[in-house]
Structure 1
Amino acid sequence: MGLKHVLVLPYPAQGHVNPLMHLSQKLVQHGCKVTFVNTEFNHKRVVNAMNGKVSLDGSKVELVSVPDGLGPEEDRNDHAGLILSMERTMPSDLERLIRDINSMDGGSNGITSIICDTYMAWGLEVAQKLGIKGAIIIPSSAAILALEDNIPKLIEDGIMDSDGLPIKKGKFQLTPNMPNVNIADMPWSCFEDDFSKKTIYHYLAKTIKWSHLSDWWLSNTTQELEPGALSLCPKILPIGPIKESPEFRSLGQFWREDHSCLTWLDQQPPCSVIYVAFGSSTMFDTNQFKELALGLELTNRPFLWVVRDEDSNNSNGNTNHHKYPDEFQCTKGKIVKWAPQQMVLKHPAIACFISHCGWNSTMDGVSNGVPFLCWPYFADQVIDKTYICEVWKVGLGFDEDERGIISRWEIKKKVVELLGDEDIKGRSKKMKDMVMNNIAKDGNSTHNFNKFMKWLSE
């Protein structure tokens, strides 16, 4: 059989594009050609961050796009509006794209399989219609997919209603060796209005049904990290940690990475730097931003802080641009707009990671043995924090004051506490070795990935 040609379809958010791009790089290393499908809106950002290129020299990853159905002025941060628009318009556009590719060169280099982000699992219906094999990859923890796969049981047990809104208060546990979940922290509960909560809940319930059109559920996790979720959902195949390849560095980034921070890290003592990054979606109000800035300064340690500039994530002109407080000197810190995170966390100067606990960041930190200070923002991040602090015990959380703010004093206190805790540091290092063993030549994740590649080739 000729070259395997895989179409990869991420949900249009940076935290989804990244892991699917890293998977694409892995596929290329195993002899595949990849067509990577962003929405037009995100495709422009990625190409812009790469100085106008649509593929890297010699890369077998080609970037293409389909419209998301929204107008240029509409807000892509309105996830309810975005998913309704995508579901309405994208399947037919994706089908057209595949038919066009498959008609080129007499079909000799056509798409042979599709790998969809779980949250784009409608792509499996398109694959089925065209007689192409399909798989999904989970960009969040296996626990989140297990939770969504058990939606009918949660309704039956009276935990929530058929719109995903809570009936009870308190916590529940899907299985004894999974973390407790607060009913108020369901991934769809973070949205402010009931319309968004219900729309996103119903969409997630549908994505699970679509996901069952495939027997291949790939996940950026490992057996040791999530044994409970993996036993509850045996269909999930752990292939993590999925690491980026240096030669593909910037492919898929929405913002241009600032590599000057690596040179700056070279000048810092080992295990001295606080790395602060909150992903691509977190927004701070002015007071919280001020406390964070002054808290970092109060630690009297070097820090590397990623602050997105005038959040271009907002297509409707909203900004995440904050004025640094007058008393903020930043004498020991470096601030960048976007960082090459896996390279940063691998650096010996890093002491700890103040994180929003998105799953990519969680896996990046864990697989580099870096202890966490957890500051979740929304969706699945609260459950990831529970894993970090309560299950794996490789991090600490922050406590809000009576105003609902994490104060500068709390930031300083927790940094001191974390960096003085030899047990947490020891567990972090041990967990790194355990997790990284999975991608060694005879590791569990390597074995699983090879099994998947065999299926792709059949």
Structure 2
Amino acid sequence: MEEDGGRRWPMVVLTASPFHGHMAPTLQLATALQAKGFSIAIAHSKLNPPHPSNHPGFIFLPLSDNVSAIDDSSSFTRFIHDLNANCQPSFREHLTRLMSEENRGDKSIVVIYDYLMFFAGGVAIDLNLTSIIFRSSSAAYFPAFLARRQLHQQGQFLQQEFVMQDVVPGLHPLRYKDLPFSKSPIEDWHQLVAIFSKQRNPSAVIWNTVKFLEHEALSKIHEHYQVPVFAVGPLHKITPSPPTNFLEEDTGCITWLDKQAPKSVIYVSFGSLVTLDAKVLTEMAWGLAKSNQPFLWAVRPGSVRDSEWTEFLPEAFREETRGRSLIVKWAPQKKVLAHSAVGGFWSHCGWNSTLESISEGVPLICQPFNVDQGVNARYTSYVWKIGVELEVLERGEMEKMIRRVMVDEEGEEMRVKVGEMKEMVKNAVQNGGCSHDSLEGLVGFIISSS
């Protein structure tokens, strides 16, 4: 596309990681930038690739990753190291070829890369191209990660070394238990800290969040990087985009929801990566059963250790909940949360899920597992007060939490608060809103960088 002055707009090359929670917002950002007039290329691993047919007009650049399926039982650090080392050569080849085509010149390509795919930033800088980091986690997670890294560098590694309910000094309201402690060996942490400490500074940072939600954290991010920070979320509300799920959605659950009373259904889903013990899932099942609430439960195949799908569920549970329950393998989550029958979301509090719930005015039951989920759960329950955090994984406590959100007066207060936030999100993405203006600022930055 040509600018008014006849200059060529830069091509935007986005590098996506193979994690669904990262891939989806990356493709949403790409769709938003394409709508602004940019040519878009997606560099992606061969593991969990996007579907080109869903994104007409994009150029797809497969990277030679030589990695097997994501396995949470193996070393995450080793996986990230191998992914970056293996993808780098083919990414450099793609960029070099694109730069030579049509006499593009040195600075007519801008690279936006998922922070887990940090090799792309290094290659871009080596080739004298503008590099921009894209973060799909909450902004509040960033200072939490820095605090955890600092503790590590001070020689404090393990959960046993802290009073986990104490608030981290300088990081109120986060407790030590909310920080991203790793189940990996200490040596893995050494390597992970070393990897992220060596990343080269970008020209700008993009965050899939909203300023009114995370103003303080965004200010800390700007202080850290000393470059422009663009809060352009929630991206799924900025622009409609095709599904990016790696699993087939069961759209029949929408028909089931159509038959339920308004705000009566608790929706349960723990995302695309969480793996659980059958014992915990059985406690969840009985908590749902004893709550007497209708529920829609997405149980991802293989998400329960030593089970193919739901064979671990007791027959007595199935009998007790027959007629008021539906269990599916994967749900069209944004449509589910937007449905009038859904009154609560029992979630792992991944950032995409948290944003989607806020955007539809649905309060949460928070059951965080790792990475940024503890931070998100703390803000959801303690700061924004639009949910409750489940800290005791026992059926009686689970039943109580469901009732607090779905039946009690406290739940109605949460619904009012999150309903107000839904309207604020709606305003943020409209013309003149903070996220809309931030996206326009990003567009101007990309153009000026060429």
**TM-score of Structure 1 vs Structure 2, range by shorter chain:** 0.7 to 0.9
C-alpha change, 1:363 and 1:279, in structure 2 (3 Å) is same
User: What is the aligned residue count?
Assistant: 426
TM alignment of 1:306-321, pairs within 5 A: 306-311=298-303, 321=309
Residue aligned with 1:81, SS: helix
| Residues 1:243 and 2:232 aligned together | no
1:292-317 Cα deviation digits (max 9, x unpaired):
122222222221111111359x9xxx
Q: 1:94 aligned to 85, 88, 91, which one? A: 91
| Residues 1:411 and 2:404 aligned together | no
1:106 CA displacement: 5.7
Partner of 2:215: 227
C-alpha change, 1:246 and 1:327, in structure 2 (3 Å) is farther
| Residues 1:438 and 2:422 aligned together | no
C-alpha change, 1:282 and 1:76, in structure 2 (3 Å) is closer
1:270 CA displacement: 1.3
Q: 1:381 aligned to 364, 373, 378, which one? A: 373
1:174 CA displacement: 6.5
Partner of 1:19: 25
Partner of 1:61: 58
C-alpha change, 1:27 and 1:80, in structure 2 (3 Å) is same
C-alpha change, 1:5 and 1:296, in structure 2 (3 Å) is same
1:80 CA displacement: 1.7
Gaps of 5+ in 2: 1-6
TM alignment of 1:24-173, pairs within 5 A: 24-43=30-49, 46-47=50-51, 54-56=52-54, 59-70=56-67, 72=68, 75=71, 78=74, 79-104=76-101, 107=104, 112-149=109-146, 155=150, 159-161=151-153, 165=157, 169-170=162-163, 171-173=166-168
Q: Cα RMSD between the aligned structures?
A: 2.8
Partner of 1:289: 281
**Whole-angstrom CA distance in 1 between matches of 2:188 and 2:234:** 32
Read off the aligned partner of 1:123 and give its amino acid letter. Answer: A
- Contact kept? 1:222, 1:240, Cα under 8 Å: yes
- Contact kept? 2:207, 2:231, Cα under 8 Å: yes
**Whole-angstrom CA distance in 1 between matches of 2:274 and 2:158:** 24
- Contact kept? 1:241, 1:436, Cα under 8 Å: no
**Whole-angstrom CA distance in 1 between matches of 2:8 and 2:424:** 37
**Whole-angstrom CA distance in 2 between matches of 1:284 and 1:347:** 27
C-alpha change, 1:77 and 1:20, in structure 2 (3 Å) is farther
C-alpha change, 1:345 and 1:63, in structure 2 (3 Å) is farther
C-alpha change, 1:407 and 1:343, in structure 2 (3 Å) is same
Residue aligned with 2:416, SS: helix
C-alpha change, 1:397 and 1:320, in structure 2 (3 Å) is farther
C-alpha change, 1:160 and 1:192, in structure 2 (3 Å) is closer
Read off the aligned partner of 1:225 and give its amino acid letter. Answer: L
1:10 CA displacement: 2.2
**Whole-angstrom CA distance in 1 between matches of 2:73 and 2:44:** 16
1:172 CA displacement: 4.8
1:149 CA displacement: 5.0
1:197 CA displacement: 2.8
C-alpha change, 1:333 and 1:172, in structure 2 (3 Å) is same
Q: 1:448 aligned to 431, 438, 443, which one? A: 438
Q: 1:365 aligned to 350, 354, 357, which one? A: 357
Read off the aligned partner of 2:438 and give its amino acid letter. Answer: N
- Contact kept? 1:55, 1:62, Cα under 8 Å: no
Gaps of 5+ in 1: 48-53, 401-405
1:55 CA displacement: 2.6
1:358 CA displacement: 0.6
1:4 CA displacement: 4.1
**Whole-angstrom CA distance in 1 between matches of 2:19 and 2:70:** 15
Q: 2:314 aligned to 325, 328, 342, which one? A: 325
- Contact kept? 1:175, 1:232, Cα under 8 Å: no
Partner of 1:429: 419
Read off the aligned partner of 1:30 and give its amino acid letter. Answer: K
1:163 CA displacement: 6.5
C-alpha change, 1:93 and 1:106, in structure 2 (3 Å) is same
**Whole-angstrom CA distance in 2 between matches of 1:97 and 1:186:** 38
Partner of 2:4: none
1:68 CA displacement: 2.2
- Contact kept? 2:299, 2:310, Cα under 8 Å: no
- Contact kept? 2:13, 2:41, Cα under 8 Å: yes
C-alpha change, 1:273 and 1:294, in structure 2 (3 Å) is same
C-alpha change, 1:203 and 1:162, in structure 2 (3 Å) is farther
**Whole-angstrom CA distance in 1 between matches of 2:425 and 2:168:** 25
Residue aligned with 2:182, SS: coil
| Residues 1:279 and 2:276 aligned together | no
- Contact kept? 1:296, 1:303, Cα under 8 Å: yes
Residue aligned with 2:317, SS: coil
